[in-house]
Amino acid sequence: MTRIRGASRLNPRPVKILIVEDDDAIAAPLAAGLRREGNEVSRVATGRAALEADEPDLVLLDLRLPDLDGYEVCRGLRARSRVPIIMVTARGEEVDRVVGLELGADDYLVKPFGFRELLARMNAVMRRARGAPEEPRALRAGPLEVDVRARRAVLGDRELALTPKEFDLLALLLGDQGAVVDRARILQEIWGTSWNRAGKTIDVHVASLRKKLGDAAWIETVRGVGLRLRPPQ
């Protein structure tokens, strides 16, 4: 499973996600992407508002908030609830991760991050919270295997040296293997924008991916719609 869906067999109702983030440029596209996945999303911009909000199923918590430190918010949430918390922050030092996890966070994701990686981590955290068995974290198509959480892509016996955006694009296409993924969705989920002129960026990354995969047939361009990934015949 690569998405948190509202109608999964593990949870018959939409997942309620609380985003605690004061930056509109980050919160708005993130909330839009999560809603497209079938979730109920609410967003607050301060730590106090997070502590006063109705309890969700999962919290995405930024550490740099205008009023309270994110660590303080995490401590307050954890004192009253076992709600899964993923810290989402630009602080990438090991000490920051250790402090966050010791305060009760379930996972720690450093900005910038790929949307597919976030979904994978959210799924893993929710499965652990429900006590459900872990699902395979690898996506496969023929000789291609992509481990989203470890961010490794292997073709046959060769590991692919991908940039972060190349990896995110490959994982997105592989997650909907055989289906056409439209360019608007790619722009939103990988680059966090709906700006049409950014479409040339997709073409550049697709060209690089095809070269690294060794066969352009891996990624098919469906004119006027988007891209589809499937093993070459």
* 10-65 confidence digits (pLDDT tens): 344 689 999 999 999 999 999 999 999 899 999 999 999 999 999 999 999 999 99
Tell whether 5 is covered by a domain. Answer: no
- 142 and 123 inside one domain: no
* pLDDT for position 3: 42
Q: pTM for this structure?
A: 0.58
The verdict on 55 and 99 lying in the same domain is yes
Task: Please tell me whether residues 168 and 143 are part of one structural domain.
Answer: yes
Give me the number of domains the chain comprises. Answer: 2
Residue 149 and residue 86 share a domain: no
Task: Tell me what percent of the residues of the chain surpass a pLDDT of 90.
Answer: 47
Q: Distances from the Cα of 125 to the Cαs of 4, 50, 62, 151, in angstroms?
A: 11, 19, 17, 17
Separation of alpha carbons 86 and 107, rounded Å: 5
Question: What is the identity of the amino acid at 175?
Answer: G
Report how far apart, in Å, the C-alpha atoms of 67 and of each of 28, 94, 105 are: 20, 24, 20
Select from 77, 102, 130 the last residue of a domain: 130
Two tokens at 216? 């352009």
The verdict on residue 182 lying in a domain is: yes
Residues 117 and 204 in one domain: no
Mean pLDDT of 74-94: 86
Give per-residue pLDDT as tens, 188-224: 778 766 655 556 788 899 999 999 999 999 999 998 8
AA letter at 79: A
Distance in angstroms between the alpha carbons of the first and the last residue of the chain: 26
Same-domain status, 55 and 149: no
Q: Once rounded to an integer, what is the mean pLDDT over residues 116-122?
A: 87
pLDDT of residue 47: 95
Domain with 225, as residue range(s), is 138-229
DSSP H helices in the chain:
24-36, 47-52, 70-80, 94-102, 115-130, 164-175, 183-186, 199-213
